[in-house]
Structure 1
Amino acid sequence: MHTISPIRLSPRRRPVIWLVLLVTVAFLFSRVDRCSHTISQSIQSTFLSPSTLTVSTETTQPGSNTHGFNLFDNLYLRNGTFYIVTSTPSSFMPRNHIVSRPTRRGEGIDIQATDQELQFLTPAEAKGILGDRAISIAGFSVIFHDPSQFMSHFYHWWGELILGTFRVYSTLQQSRYIAPTRFLLPNVAGDAWRDGTGLNGPLMRAAFPSSPIENADWWADILRLGSSTFVFERAMLVDRAAAHKSPLSRNWHKMISSTMELAAPSQFWDPIRETIVGNFVGPDLPHPTKPVVTYITRQTPNRRRKLSDSSHESLLSALGELQKEGVCEVQVVEETEGVKLVELVARSTVIIGVHGSGLTHQLWMPPSPLSTIIEIFFPNAYSFDHEMIARNLGHRHYAVWNDTLLTYPEGRYHPKIKYAEHLDFRGSEMPVHGPAVAAAIRARLQVGSGVEPESVMHLDESHQMALALDSGREVL
């Protein structure tokens, strides 16, 4: 029987083998050590290295800026106070045109900004107050400086804060839209920024899926680092009270009044609208074969500011006739349908509704030569809420006073806001003559006809006087 004998090395070969083994092990350990050191350095440089900037770097303002909507590069923050470091403070707006005290607005309440909100420093002063270096907050931060008083409302959030921010931001004329890195709400606790209809949150996630919304907790964490100075690489500072300092706000009474005079690209809103619609509906939204008219109703029980039952039926009947004639397709949807309205409005050409937040959904309607907003008011009343949005988006806006429609060409506006005697727009028996609205839609959708029905008035100054003489109505 054969047996396998163990291999025996000669005494002379044994030291050589041991030497080879030792060299191999040493080489492998050195490779592992170098690799570990390289990985450690990479991790440290990516995650652990402090990102700092010297406080002598001055604050600048790219693009166009206006009351309450100010874009900054290198905006400093320490102990909850903003600092603008500059050798030329006169090149910036006054402090109260940038921020206000973040307290609830009301009669007799002083909201003028103080040194606690914002200070201007020269580079020499900055070193003594801010220290030598600042922790960098990278990317583009949008800071809504208001308390939650007006923020928790669909119209105020989307039709003023977001729309105004991106009108101003678009003046940078970038080749590619860069979404905000974060939205900061330093004076809003918990969910107080969310609206009662549950639209603000989902729409923000659809528009900016990678941009967190940080409330007052984030700010409180920063405040706890009391000895640290922070610097925003780029920040849009938005403040409602400061925006209302604009002379344009005296007539329009809208937060975004000041932004209307900025030369923004005509399609600045398209990237946001397309992102929201694409994320809600998908990229293949069917194209309608004819214009779509969407009537957003407010007729559910106990709603304030809705049409009388007879006016509602008159409008439904007149719109039904348009559909029978093949002029358009008609959609009727209740304002409370929420996010369902995104898809319905995205395929619309004309939107009709009583003055109210439902008309804010025009943000999802694509602009075109025919895109139209028809807003129903109490006769003689007027507000600019949805006309401002329509002008930003490229939609034609018509105000309806029962059987009369008013519209203004580009560059001209209704003289001023005017509330009705009906509980400040809040009455529940608003009249509208359905056939007058239908006639305006029919004429509007006749491409290239140039026809306007007699009920539509393009009110320049001479027309205002004629209106007053012919109907006895007040020239507003």
Structure 2
Amino acid sequence: MYGCFPNTALLFPQDMDDLRQVTASEYRKKAYVLDKAILADRSAAFRGPYTGPTSRTVAGATALGNVSRWWWEPIRRQVLRFSEVPEEIISRNLEGYGAVDPVEWEGKTAAEIGYTPLKPAGDYKPVVTYISRQKSRRRLTPESHNKLVAALKEKAEKVGFELIVVEAERYTKEEQFAIAGKTTIMLGVHGNGLSHLLWMPATPRSAVIEMFYHGGFARDCEYCAAQLCEIR
């Protein structure tokens, strides 16, 4: 919260009691003005129409309707800057097709539609990040995990992409954000670990691959991957 919105103040009931006391002086009544205020009510969120289908109390707050495609970008950039990610990595989503919806091109060239990229294409390797959950309850079999890692390493050498295998519990939040911030393709087992897709640069070649195992589906985690992609 503070990394994203450094000027935010979280006020709890005891804080409101303090404000009531300092503004109710016997000498002179005072007003304490909040420039902007957001009232959060967890119990109301449970009763909303979005929590039931997703099992996520935050779902109602992110049901934004029709908004700009860039609405998330200032938040993504602030979090990555807080995590000391270089600007050239943060701005990868501005390169080439990344600044427009590729459907709008419909086979036309950039000159034909009068499009100029906001940023020239970089010469970095695509980054494939595998989020390993082998130490958690929801995980691949050891054999499947080992085969997957071996196949990814083989492909990385042949195709020429950078491979990162992450056990998130070994990294700080800032390190996890930094890895996601430069990831082109993210894959992992169905679960909260895929929430970091929020910090990926949104480009036409960006992708999230979610793996399942029998009996391992959790409805609330569906929100973390599929619906978070739509939020972005």
**TM-score past 0.5 threshold:** yes
- 1:85 aligned residue: none
Q: Distance in 2 between matches of 1:223 and 1:376?
A: 52
Cα distance between partner residues in 1 of 2:51 and 2:176: 30
- Per-residue deviation, residues 195-246 of structure 1 (Å, max 9, x unmatched): xxxxxxxxx3432233344455423312445857756443222223322333
Provide the secondary structure at the position in 1 that maps to 2:131.
strand
CA-based RMSD? 2.7
Distance 1:231 1:273 in 2: 29
CA contact (8 A) 2:83 2:175 kept: no
Higher relative contact order (CA 8 A, sep 6+): 2
CA–CA separation in structure 1 for the residues paired with 2:168 and 2:204: 25
Structure with greater proportional helix content: 2
Select which of 73, 81, 89 maps to 1:278: 81
More strand by share: 1
Q: What letter is aligned with 1:252? A: T
Paired residue secondary structure (1:250): helix
Deviation, structure 1 residue 271 = 0.5
Is 2:85–2:178's contact at 8 Å kept on the other side of the alignment?
no
Aligned positions of 1:153-232 closer than 5 A? 204-224=1-21, 227=24, 232=34
Distance 1:233 1:211, change over 3 A: closer
Match of 1:353, SS state, is strand
- Look up the match of 1:392: 231
- In 1, Cα distance between equivalents of 2:88 and 2:179: 10
Q: How does 1:440-451 map to 2 (within 5 A)?
A: none
Match of residue 69, structure 2, among 266, 272, 285: 266
Measured in 2, the distance between the counterparts of 1:232 and 1:212 equals 10
Whether contact under 8 Å (2:130, 2:186) holds in the other structure is yes
Q: How far apart are the structure 1 equivalents of 2:23 and 2:6?
A: 32
Within the candidate set 182, 187, 195, 1:352 is matched to 187
CA gap of 1:283–1:298, structure 2 versus 1, over 3 A, is same
Q: How does 1:62-101 map to 2 (within 5 A)?
A: none
What is residue 334 of structure 1 aligned with on the other side?
Answer: 167
Letter in 2 for 1:315: L
Partner of residue 104, structure 2? none
Shift of 1:295: 0.8
Query: CA offsets, 1:323-362, max 9 Å, x none?
Result: 1221532111111112211221111111112233322222
User: SS state of the match for residue 146, structure 2?
Assistant: helix
AA of the residue aligned to 1:270: E
How far 1:266 moved relative to its partner? Answer: 1.4
The partner residue of 1:249 within 37, 41, 51 is 51
User: Deviation digits for residues 124-144 of structure 1, max 9, x if unmatched?
Assistant: xxxxxxxxxxxxxxxxxxxxx
- Give yes or no for contact 1:246–1:257 (8 Å, CA) kept in 2: no
Alpha carbons of structure 1 residues 299 and 241: separation in structure 2 relative to 1, 3 Å? same
Cα deviation, 1:1-54, whole Å, max 9, x if unaligned, reads xxxxxxxxxxxxxxxxxxxxxxxxxxxxxxxxxxxxxxxxxxxxxxxxxxxxxx
Counterpart residue type for residue 56 of structure 2: K
Say if 1:252 and 1:360 are closer, same or farther in 2 by CA, change over 3 A: same
The 3-state SS of whatever aligns with 1:294 is: strand
**C-alpha deviation, 1:305, in angstroms:** 2.1
8 A contact 1:295–1:332 mirrored in 2: yes
CA distance in 2, matches of 1:205, 1:256: 18
Letter in 1 for 2:52: R
**CA distance in structure 1 between the partners assigned to 2:177 and 2:191 by the alignment:** 17
Q: How many residues align?
A: 188
Aligned to 1:166: none
SS of residue matched to 1:293: strand
- Quick check: 1:290–1:328 contact (8 Å CA) kept in 2? yes
- Taking the aligned partners of 1:310 and 1:216, their CA distance within structure 2 comes to 52
Q: Which residue in the other structure is 1:318 paired with? A: 151
Q: Which amino acid in 1 is paired with 2:42?
A: R
Given the two structures, how large is their TM-score scaled by the length of structure 2? Answer: 0.68
Measure how far apart 1:373 and its partner are. Answer: 1.8
The alpha-carbon deviation at position 366 of structure 1 amounts to 1.2
Q: Work out which of the two has the higher radius of gyration on C-alpha atoms and give 1 or 2.
A: 1
Q: Does the 8 Å CA contact 2:23/2:32 hold for their aligned counterparts?
A: no
DSSP 3-state at the match of 1:244: helix
The 5 Å alignment of 1:298-447 reads 298-300=133-135, 303-326=136-159, 328-336=161-169, 337-338=171-172, 339-379=174-214, 381-383=217-219, 384-386=222-224, 387-393=226-232
